[in-house]
């Protein structure tokens, strides 16, 4: 997607940063064989996604592109009959 600004928003950066910190915390405690610390890191990881989603809903995420307006032709039966003036 050339020219796309996907992921270059405050919501994306914040969500990914919190998630990365959570993975680092969980990984460190996993190596230290501490299950409580591991699960705390996993909670931080999930919190990153929640925070990113909340920020996106607040308008800090990527805006959705506007949908083009499509004109739908009327069916033949709904059209006005042609008159002699037309």
Residue 20 located in a structural domain: yes
Residue 2 located in a structural domain: no
Give the global pTM: 0.67
Distance in angstroms (rounded) separating the CA atoms of residues 41 and 46? 9
Least confident of 4-8, 11-15, 46-50: 4-8
**Termini Cα distance of the chain:** 49
Q: Which domain holds residue 34?
A: 10-58
pLDDT in tens, 44-77: 999 999 999 999 998 888 877 777 767 666 666 6
Q: Say if residues 14 and 56 touch (Cβ distance below 8 Å).
A: no
3-class DSSP state for residue 9? coil
Q: How many of the other CB atoms lie within 10 Å of CB of 72?
A: 5
Residue 68 located in a structural domain: no
3-class DSSP state for residue 5? coil
């Amino acid at each position: 997607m050339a020219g796309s600004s996907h992921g270059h928003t405050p919501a994306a950066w914040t969500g990914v940063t919190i998630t990365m910190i959570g993975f680092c915390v969980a990984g460190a405690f996993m190596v230290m064989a501490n299950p409580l610390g591991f699960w705390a890191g996993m909670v931080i990881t999930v919190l990153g996604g929640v925070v990113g989603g909340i920020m996106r809903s607040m308008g800090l995420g990527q805006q959705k592109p506007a949908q083009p307006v499509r004109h739908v032709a009327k069916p033949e039966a709904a059209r006005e009959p042609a008159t002699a003036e037309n």
